[in-house]
Structure 1
Amino acid sequence: MEGKTEESNEAAPHDTENPPTPLATLMKEELHRLSTLFSSCCIYRVPKRLRHVKEKAYTPQVVSIGPLHHGKKALKSMEEHKKRYLQDFLRHTNISMEDLVRKIRDQEARVRRCYAETIEFTVDEFVRIILVDATFVIEILLKNKFHEFQDANDRLFNKPYMLQDVWPDMRLLENQLPLFILEDLFKLYKIQVSSNNSIITLSHDWFKTLMDIEGTDALCVYGLISPCST
């Protein structure tokens, strides 16, 4: 009995010095850690109930655009092609890499807020992803519209089946970039490209060309669904 009494007496001071955190305080801390919601959010993950039906229909198979699927092993082979298109972009616009990085970095927070989920990449990592992917998108749209932008050694346009692998990925909900960043970079082409062209019109031409090749209905493309049934 004496041993139990001593053990009880030793435990009491410990409980007094380290009282449990009050529930109200704990819950307030949890609320404080919630990420901020922004009205500019426009790029979301596909709901799990849809992905479970057909995973492949909502997951890029060849190329990642934006941060949501960046770094996946199955998509890494396209990273070299994207960097070659970055080289083309720098050559076509005569902008320096330093200025291009600065242009993306200045809008990094705004671009990040467009994604529904928290993006875990560091600022430098995120800027790199957006820079490479945005210039890739712009270059592929321009090369499709203006053949003079194509290079004789271009692996995408000289092998049409590669384009047909890339274009389905570019229309996926989770494989998108904010329109404003594409438009800002596209303005660097203002001297060379007709004012009648825009990211919207070039995108329309791009998807229409590939739809004609594949025989896909427009509803299937813009509705982000599997090929339409007859």
Structure 2
Amino acid sequence: MLPAVEKPRDQVAILIEGKVQEMPSFWPNCCIYKVPQRFRRGNEEFYEPLVVSIGPYHFHQGSFPQMQIFKLKYLEAFLGRNHLSLDQCLGLVRTWEEIARRYYADPIDLSSDEFAEMMLVDAIFVLELLLRARFSEYVDDCDRIYGKLRMIQDVFHDVMLTENQIPFFVLQGLYDLVDASSKGNLKLVELTHVFFNYYATFGADHLHVPGVDHGVQHFVDFIRYYYLPPPPREDVYYEIFESPIPPSVTMLDDAGVKFAHTSKTFLLDIQFINRDLVIPNLTVDDWTETLFRNMLVFEQCHDHHTRYISQFIYFMGCMLRTSKDVDLLTEREIISSGLGSNDKLCALIDRIGQGVGFDAGTFYYRSLCTKLNAYCKVPWHKWKANLKRDYFNTPWKLASTIAAIILLVLTLIQTICSILSV
């Protein structure tokens, strides 16, 4: 019997095996993502850096050359002020390389040396930004960032982009090397809070910042954390596939719902108490769209059980359907808009919410929507609101209405007396 001749392997199979072996590993702790095309297309200005790249996604040799010089100036100042050696800091960053790479959802095409250099220079640059925002004495006359208003605004825009992040633990590790007297005994989360609170509205309940143990992953995660509402007071999660649609502001106003504002709570914490809809103050300005878009992208890409920011935008989009809805909330001092017209604000919320999805079974505002819809369906609420608006909304209308009622009663009495006298 002739020996079996081994069949030559299919070259395509060999090619596929090689590709499988070259695939990058996927890690469960990745949390820094590139923006999906469905969000990026036509909206690049909200996701791409203007003046500075932070991290590997926008790292290119020769990109933002002027800013690279500023980064090295900040590096020199940071090391000199804290009496740290470059070798010491670089050696520390090298020990974090493997873990830091796992934070990025996309493979990083940088050598070990390039990655370590990038991580060290960018991390110290960011730390100097935070320190100089808090301690003005660190800003000298030659500072080309804090010395130029337009520049620091552009830099702020760039450090809150979801693609422009470095792991928070890297910042924390290098910040731990700073002498306590040089950082005013402030924790890094406290220093970060000071920096972002210039441009983001965190609410009074967030004055006491949490410790790092809550798991801050990067700046976008940090900002999102400060917008989250408190845990729900009741069960708001049901296994259904559709989210209830809240009434518009105009519909609620027609039903007699009162709108109240507060600055002493979390932005997303909206409550309906008796007939008062309490909504935290919302300031809309040039930063709002970039801020919310990047928080939304992080929520959409990451494995969050409840996508609070996404649900807030959905809820507000349903409430603010026309400029009249915005007018009402503006009159009640709930919304402060710096966009010019209220039509622009409606369009902004509609743009931000495009392509955003969330699990209807974990809808945070479900109970609130149910209560609002139920209130609007009661006819008496609308009749009472119309009566008050049409006849009792001013002292003159109130007086004339009372006079008319008295006249009607007197006329009725006179008629009855005339009938009885016959």
Higher helix share: 1
Aligned letter for 2:99?
R
AA aligned opposite 2:60: G
Q: Against the structure 1 CA distance between its residues 64 and 43, is the aligned structure 2 distance closer, same or farther, given a 3 Å change threshold? A: same
Gaps of 5+ in 2: 202-283, 297-338, 347-422
Pick aligned residue for 1:194 from 171, 184, 196: 184
* Deviations 1:139-165, CA, capped at 9 Å, x for gaps: 010000011111221111111111011
Q: Tell me the residue number matched to 2:291.
A: 221
CA RMSD, aligned part only? Answer: 2.8
1:111 and 2:100 aligned:
yes
TM-score scaled to structure 1, two decimals? Answer: 0.82
Larger radius of gyration: 2
Shift of 1:205: 1.6
Equivalence map 1:1-230=2 (5 Å) = 19-21=8-10, 26-71=15-60, 75-192=64-181, 193-195=183-185, 197-210=186-199, 215-216=285-286, 221=291, 223-224=293-294, 229=345
Shift of 1:72: 6.4
% identical equivalent positions? 33
Contact 1:142 1:202 in 2 (8 A): yes
1:101–1:131 contact (8 Å) kept in structure 2: yes
Distance 1:156 1:229 in 2: 31
Distance 1:74 1:22 in 2: 41
User: Is the Cα contact below 8 Å between 1:111 and 1:178 reproduced in 2?
Assistant: yes
Are 1:150 and 1:157, in contact at CA under 8 Å, matched by a contact in 2?
yes
Cα distance in 2 between the residues matched to 1:64 and 1:55: 15
Deviates more, 1:165-174 or 1:73-82: 73-82
In the TM superposition, structure 1's runs of 4+ consecutive aligned residues that sit over 6 Å from their partners are 225-228
**Equivalent residue letter for 2:195:** W
Instruction: Say which structure is richer in strand.
Output: 2
1:188 aligns to what SS in structure 2? coil
From the superposition, tell whether residues 211 and 25 of structure 1 become closer, same or farther in structure 2 (CA, over 3 Å).
closer
Q: Compare relative contact order (CA 8 Å, sep 6+) and give the higher one, 1 or 2.
A: 1
Q: Within 2, Cα distance between the matches of 1:224 and 1:116?
A: 16
**How many residue pairs get matched?**
213
* Paired residues of 1:57 and 1:225 also in contact (CA < 8 A): no
TM-score by length of 2: 0.46
Tell me how far 1:182 sits from its aligned partner. Answer: 0.2
